[in-house]
Amino acid sequence: MYRRVFSFVMCCLCAPAVSQTVASDEALLAKTRGLYDAPFTRDLVSFDCAVQFDWKKHFVDFLGTMPPAAAPIAERLQTIQHRVFVDRTGAVVSAIPKATDLNGVAHAAELEKSFDAMVSGGISAWLPFGTNIILPIAPTKYSFEKLDSGYKLVMNGPGVAATLLLKEDMRLTSVVSQLPQPMRFTTEFTPGPEGFLLGSVKTGSTNDTSVTLEATFTFAYQTVQGFQLPSLVTVTPATKEAWHYGLTDCKAVKGAAIKVGPPKP
């Protein structure tokens, strides 16, 4: 569910608009792209961090108390150290000792698997913004339309049909897609030293609006070798069981910058 954000695309909304020329669309996209902090479009190649998570606090936050039967599970899980490796393709969580050491501890292996999914899922929700693929990339066609509230950006390409709504200052506020799957999400951004930083993203399906299947991701940041990278992440799936984790002892690998230029419409 979480990796859908990484592969998102969007569909069209109808609204009164002032048409843009091709040249003005290209200039506006270039300006918009430059307003966002996307470290993977600079010279960030990858980073890896230790993952900090408090199992006892998680049980108390979700259940309101620490059930006696859960105490030994939390204590055993707390002994496992995790790191997460992140590059443009996704996030990989590793654990020492491995989950096989949880044999004989009831429900511990299932909880460890859920934890891994929440860590990688939270980073996967951030990656489209860290790589700036949230904005159209060639060969996707696109056009801006001026609205009273800001702009509508419509994009269509191979397997892509989407609409993005942006404020007057070009902060993305919402997206609706039909391809490659029906999806919608809303976003909030905060100013950072290198541009807009993703503060939160809430995802959901557009197939059945009568069923609430929303997931929410929130992010705080730290400076690592000149990059703004996530430091605190909260993942709240449709079950509403919030998972809060921190990223510490982060190490970044630098290399040649990957430039994402304005695509040709």
Which range, of 5-14, 111-120, 126-135, 229-238, averages the lowest pLDDT? 5-14
Question: Could you read off the pLDDT of 237-259 as tens digits, one per residue?
Answer: 988 899 999 999 999 999 865 55
Smallest CA-to-CA distance from 184 within 153, 214, 205 is with: 205
Q: What six digits make up the tokens of 226?
A: 């000149």
Q: What six digits make up the tokens of 6?
A: 């990484």
Task: Say if CB 204 and CB 183 are below 8 A apart.
Answer: yes
Q: What six digits make up the tokens of 206?
A: 């557009």
Q: What is the per-residue pLDDT for 8?
A: 39
Sign of CA pseudo-dihedral 176, 217, 168, 196:
negative
Judged against a pLDDT cut of 80, whether residue 7 lies above it is answered with no
Q: Distance between CA atoms of 119 and 225, rounded to whole angstroms?
A: 22
Q: What is the mean pLDDT of the chain?
A: 86
Q: What pTM did the predictor assign?
A: 0.84
Question: Could you read off the pLDDT of 24-52 as tens digits, one per residue?
Answer: 999 999 999 999 999 999 999 999 999 99
Is the model more confident about 228 or about 177? 228
Q: Omega before 180 cis (within 30°)?
A: yes
Which range, of 4-13, 94-103, 118-127, 217-226, averages the lowest pLDDT? 4-13
CB atoms within 10 A of CB 221: 19
> What's the whole-number mean pLDDT along residues 110-114?
92
Residue 80: pLDDT band (50, 70, 90) is: very high
Range 65-69 contact pairs with CB under 8 angstroms and sequence separation of 24 or more: none
Q: What is the per-residue pLDDT for 157?
A: 87
Q: Omega before 97 cis (within 30°)?
A: yes
Q: What is the per-residue pLDDT for 265?
A: 43
